[in-house]
Chain A
């Protein structure tokens, strides 16, 4: 089929200038770059239900797992920036690019839209650790080096553990597992000692008393988990990060469209179901603007790139 040049041009222009006013013009797909059933998947599915009501079109959750969330993110980067393809990811969005060579530019080929929620990074210990608090653990780890479990190479739990090892100046080995559930199970069996991750992936195991929470990473204690020691109060400096969950679109989205989606997601997040989900997982709903979220995303990506270089983490 051969299109007249003018028609082709008109098509390109209309695609390039997807406006906030004609959104949504069809079904919206939310890519979840993880398998079904995980915490990101749960949050996205609740969000899809609420957004469907606001937009009046079908909002479909599509799981595209693989390569530490980067298979799904690659698919996102190739979609049209018309707001009909979105993605929800964790802080892995900023850690994975620090270590993987990707077929897209993580800074320009995705558009950060909305910070959905933030939580503390919680440090949990398995049956191989005697300490009950982070201060005791620092002494125990100094006497005998511990094994730090991660949810996979390049995951946020991997970089959080590396950052802790560097800033606390303790020795330890990293062991990668295939996801948060696997990491927790291996902690229970004593095959690894410590796992640092967001609240949603460790709290269920802490509640069941299968692993114990030692503390949180950050300068101060967490408002929702006030009983846990913070790394800052023990004199460990330079750890000022939070786990988060955010929504992204393909690169080069119209700022008006971004503002429109940001506003609608904020409305959707007020639903009862969504608030309950956040509360159960010790997540604080995100309130920053798309610009602030974009700045946070770029800044963290730089932090992880520097850390990867300093700690000699590279993919080969």
Chain B
């Protein structure tokens, strides 16, 4: 396989004026949304999702991906200047970024963040380019039993690893799986839970569900919480951005370490950019000879996590594009975008749609370059955006959500679905139930079910078939181990909390 021919093809696709425009739009919108506190990347993608239906699939995906890594860039701006993470993956950036801003070094932090993001993303792209075709080549031999086991592991891992309560996470996955059963049964053609409603024949709309759960619910929760405080516009001047020689000396090793950590965790199911950033911060803290500087404005604590979360953004595409298995809810939405365009993500994607695949990969590079060029001069603009009162912002966002939901199928029913899921999403937040596992369960539900039932047909009804296949058995055992581990960890935490109370 000629990697250079592929890269050239990709570069040609990504540099066509049409795709370049949408790449720019994606990263630009992504950065804005990342800067605005209270709207995470999931909310952003689900809100802008409908726009992409009217584009060619390649442009659509390039734009969605641009939004995805653009928000990570923008998220760090709010973290550093306001101590409010614009997106969850930049929460760690607050720890040392905000102290830097208070010391009048906000400009340096923003610049180094941008550079670290670019470096991390570039390394992530190299990893993505080298591994995806290899994985895809062997993937057509993976059968339904293996897919079932892998997806089950992904669901369990996503529900238990990344958030506090494993039980709550699993409960939400199950709720997502149940919501996914609405519509036509893929194996018998029977209508399930449609109540004779034509709108439900093909299931609940993923767009409406995501917009309600993330967009509406997030805005409702943020309304009285966010006060754009006293941002210091001076921190964004050119003069304030110049890093010292010492800053650069301290930064380049954490950049590579962060990129390595991010590349690895990005490709794993259930982890992703947020966990990568936390891991990178922990590692930098651990290896530092001066750990006492952390939390007081250490540049390593900004560079490491930022490099990691951007690298993870890129490698998260490996399982999504080469196997059709999304590792995170955001990737699940990307998968949804592909499927809506009639493209089956999976092992054949790279060989059947080389233009799309390589174009997308190369657009990552161009997008990251655009972000670099865009962000340094525009930091001043982002700072001003942070000073817009939130009460002027959210009605506009809500309106766009409604227009977006309606325009997918021109169906008012979908707008009501958004409303319903918005209320559910708010209730879930009140009870601190995580919405991300629900979305993942919803997207993977039909796939998990179909693969399980296909595997059962291939086994001619013998459930032991799953355990007789070494790979499937191993993955299932790993899944059980994850469940056991998270239950045990939960019990231990509870025991520790109890003894802690007694000590006092």
Residues of chain A having any CB pair with chain B under 8 Å: 34-38, 41, 63-68, 70-71, 74-75, 96, 99-101, 103, 147, 152-154, 173-179, 181-182, 185, 188-191, 314-316
Contacts and interface: CB of A to CB of B under 8 A. Distances in A.
B480 interface: no
Interface stretch (B99-107, B335-343, B378-386): B335-343
Contacts of A75: 198
B140 A185 contact: yes
B387 interface: no
Contact of B185 (A37, A38, A74, A315): A315
A103 B196 contact: yes
Contact of B201 (A34, A37, A66, A314): A66
Interface in B188-224: 188-191, 196, 198, 201-203
B163 interface: no
Majority DSSP secondary structure for residues of A touching B: loop
Interface in B326-357: 339-344, 346-348, 352
A114 B52 CA distance: 33
B458 A154 contact: no
A315 B190 contact: yes
Contact of A181 (B57, B201, B344, B457): B344
Contacts of A35: 339-342
- What are the 3 closest A-B residue pairs judged by CB atoms, nearest first? A35-B342, A66-B202, A37-B342
Contact of B202 (A63, A71, A182): A71
Given A66-B201, A67-B201, A178 B344 contact: yes
B289 interface: no
Given A67-B201, A185-B348, A316 B458 contact: no
A173 B186 CA distance: 16
Contact of A74 (B190, B198, B203): B198
B177 to A, nearest CB: 18
Interface of B: 57, 140-144, 183-191, 196, 198, 201-203, 339-344, 346-348, 352, 409, 450, 454, 457-458, 460
Given A70-B201, A185-B348, A188-B140, A178 B460 contact: no
19 contacts: A35-B341, A38-B342, A63-B342, A66-B183, A66-B201, A71-B202, A99-B189, A100-B191, A101-B191, A153-B185, A153-B186, A177-B454, A178-B186, A179-B344, A181-B344, A182-B344, A182-B346, A191-B143, A315-B189
A316 B188 contact: yes
A88 to B, nearest CB: 15
B202 to A, nearest CB: 3
Given A65-B202, A175-B458, A153 B342 contact: no
A154 B348 contact: no
B144 A74 contact: no
Nearest to B139: A189
B202 A185 contact: no
A192 to B, nearest CB: 8
Contacts of B57: 36-37
A296 to B, nearest CB: 23
Contacts of B346: 182, 185
B396 to A, nearest CB: 29
Given A103-B198, A175-B454, A37 B341 contact: yes
Given A173-B457, A173-B460, A68 B341 contact: no
A189 B137 CA distance: 11
B369 to A, nearest CB: 30
A239 B107 CA distance: 76
A63 B408 CA distance: 11
Contacts of B196: 103
Contacts, number: 97
Given A67-B202, A153-B186, A181 B348 contact: yes
Given A38-B342, A191-B144, 5 more contacts: A65-B202, A175-B454, A176-B186, A178-B344, A191-B454
B323 to A, nearest CB: 12
Nearest to B353: A37
Given A68-B184, A175-B458, A189-B141, A154 B189 contact: yes
A36 B341 contact: yes
A139 B140 CA distance: 28
Contacts of B140: 185, 188-189
Given A74-B198, A103-B196, A190-B141, A36 B342 contact: yes
A315 B194 CA distance: 14
Task: Report which residue of B140, B143, B187, B339 has the largest number of chain A beta carbons within 10 angstroms of its beta carbon.
Answer: B140
A96 B188 CA distance: 11
A43 to B, nearest CB: 14
A59 to B, nearest CB: 17
B261 to A, nearest CB: 34
A208 to B, nearest CB: 9
B189 A74 contact: no
B454 to A, nearest CB: 6
B458 A147 contact: yes
A174 B352 CA distance: 26
A154 B215 CA distance: 37
Contacts of B187: 153, 176
Contacts of B141: 189-190
B457 A185 contact: no
Contacts of B144: 191
A316 B192 CA distance: 9
Contacts of B198: 71, 74-75, 103
B357 to A, nearest CB: 15
Contacts of B454: 175-177, 191
Contacts of A68: 184, 189
A185 to B, nearest CB: 5
A67 B141 CA distance: 28
B466 to A, nearest CB: 15
A74 to B, nearest CB: 5
B143 to A, nearest CB: 5
Contacts of B191: 100-101, 315
A263 to B, nearest CB: 31
A89 to B, nearest CB: 16
Contacts of B183: 66-67
A77 to B, nearest CB: 10
Task: Report which residue of A66, A101, A174 has the largest number of chain B beta carbons within 10 angstroms of its beta carbon.
Answer: A66
Given A37-B341, A99-B189, A147 B457 contact: yes
A71 B140 CA distance: 31
A68 B460 CA distance: 25
Nearest to B454: A175
B146 to A, nearest CB: 10
A74 B201 contact: yes
Task: Report which residue of B144, B184, B460 has the largest number of chain A beta carbons within 10 angstroms of its beta carbon.
Answer: B184
